[in-house]
Amino acid sequence: MKKIIRFSFFQIVAEKDVAVGLPTLEMEESEIRILWALCEKGPKSIYNLKEKTKFFLQGYWPKRVWINLPDTTAEEAKRMLKDLHEPTTYHRSSIYRIVRGLSNKNLAETSRDTSGPRIKTVVKPTFEGLILYLQNPFEKQKLKNIWTHYSKMIPFSDKWNSMVTLLGEERCFETLEQTVKDFVDIRRVKFLIRPLKMTFEGFLESPKILFASIEEEDFVLERDEVVTTYLKGKTARILRNAYVAYLAVNDIRKLCWKSKEELEKLLSKLESEKELAYFEKRQVGSNPLFKEGRIKEFLPRYSGIEWFLTGMFVKNLLWHKRAIEKQENKIYDFEVEFY
């Protein structure tokens, strides 16, 4: 029986009531090959996946990805990993099985194309499938591939060129890379705002305890004035709205289980309220986000996972960390040092 290479990734959207980083997303080599091909080449019919596509898999992987080769000798493992570099084709029956596995993991979806003389089953990645593909740093043309084939799935794709022109390609790309890298273990959440009779589904980040840097650094956050000017413009409205919605769902979490008295004190201090007031050039509290139903301008309209990613991206683009210089220790006349 042929031995199969399996890979373990952190999940994009985490399951309910599970620990951070667990369980992992388990994928076979064949599933990754086909998902990568769909992201690189665009949607494909089952027939085209079988007959016309060759799959090439990078054998080196970033951190937070584990390769599982159970009951395999060192020599066998070396040979199997070397084979990852070779193009591979699959029989149609295998394609159906692989696509079904990707669909069950919510990484790919199928649709029926009846436009031609024969009905075709067309396969394309889901949003989560695109994110998994973008998380591989060795896919050098990944962003170009996504813009070419799946730009409608990324809300800010039509803003990319203007951002690159203003901020530079390196800055925009590195910010997107970091956002995508951090986009793991996102939690699906049900929000309830009783005074407005609002119930909707959205997303929140998990505590990144597993991914925190061991070495802590003192820093302050500073607003990027060029990005700020860009976000104030009319063409950046959806970016600004996604950013406010991203802050708002995080603020709703802060408001949970607070008394009415506590809520009154907190509302004007919320990040979403302060940022919205800033962009609208008004005093905080003069047209509050969480009163009189104004929140409905942003939620649930911008509560989807693609908008949550957009909000994270804008936040990372807008704010940068500045390290605080540590002052030299003062020298006193008298000291006592215990051993």
Tens digits of per-residue pLDDT, 153-174? 999 999 999 999 999 999 999 9
Per-residue pLDDT for 129 more than 90? yes
Q: What is the percent of the chain with per-residue pLDDT over 70, rounded to a whole number? A: 92
What mean pLDDT is predicted for residues 224-245?
Answer: 96
CB 155 within 8 A of CB 310: yes
Of residues 4 and 249, more confidence is placed in 249
Hey, what amino acid is at 150? Y
- Region 59-82: mean pLDDT is 78
Summarize the confidence of residues 55-83 as an average pLDDT.
78
Task: For residues 133-149, give the mean pLDDT.
Answer: 91
Residue 199's pLDDT is what? Answer: 96
Please tell me the pTM assigned to this model. 0.89
Q: Is 80 exceeded by the pLDDT of residue 211?
A: no
Q: Is 129 in contact with 62 (CB distance < 8 Å)?
A: no
Question: What pLDDT sits at residue 1?
Answer: 54
Q: Which of 20-29, 198-207, 240-249, 323-332 has the highest mean pLDDT?
A: 240-249
Q: What is the mean pLDDT of residues 233-239?
A: 95
User: Rounded to whole angstroms, how far apart are CA atoms 47 and 7?
Assistant: 26
How high is the pLDDT of residue 25? 93
Alpha carbon separation from 100 to 130, 224, 261 (Å, rounded): 17, 45, 52
Q: Which domains does the chain have, with CATH numbers?
A: 6-151 (1.10.10.10), 157-323 (no CATH)
Q: What is the pLDDT of residue 214?
A: 44
Residue pair 13/186 in contact by the 8 Å Cβ criterion: yes
